[in-house]
Amino acid sequence: MNINTFKRSPIYRYWNILPIEKVKLALRKNNSDVHSLIFDGRGTTYKSWFSGSRLISTPWFGNSSANYNLFFNEERFAIWPKDRYSAMQAQKKSGNNTGYAVYYREDLRSK
C-alpha cells in the first residue's frame, strides 16, 4: 500500500454473520489517521452502511451536508459536499489487483 491506494478489509465477506456495530473509514498518512468517518453499522449489509444518515462522527469538512455514494460493483466510493466541488473518492484502478486511486480535496467533476 502506498500514498495513493485504498485498503479494504476482507470483513465484508462475512458481514451477514458478524455483529457489525460501527464501520470506520479512515484516511491515513505516516501510519496515523488524518481524517476519519464512523458509521452506524447495525442492521446494515456490506453495501448499505455507507450513508450520510448512518454517520456517527463529524465529517472532516465541518457541518456541511454531503452525499455518500458507494458503487460496490465498480469498487468505488465518493463523498461530495453539497456546497463544494472538492471531495474525496477512491476508485479501483483498471487491471487485476492494481490498487486504488484516491482523490482527496480535488475537483472530481472531470474524474
Q: 7-34 pLDDT, tens per residue?
A: 667 888 899 999 999 998 877 777 777 7
**Long-range contact pairs involving 54-57 (C-beta distance under 8 Å, separation at least 24):** 56/22
Unique residue bearing C-alpha cell 491506494:
5
Q: Could you list the residue range(s) of the whole structural domain that residue 45 is in?
A: 10-110
**2 assigned to some structural domain:** no
Q: Structural domain tally of the chain?
A: 1
Q: Is residue 4 part of a domain?
A: no
State residue 40's pLDDT score: 95
DSSP 9: -
- Residue 1 inside a domain? The answer is no
- The span from the CA of 50 to the CA of 24, in Å, is 10
Is 78 part of any domain?
yes
Q: Is 5 a domain residue?
A: no
Residues of the chain with pLDDT under 50: 1-2
3 in a domain, yes or no?
no
- For residue 55, what pLDDT is reported? 86
- Whether residue 26 lies inside any domain: the answer is yes
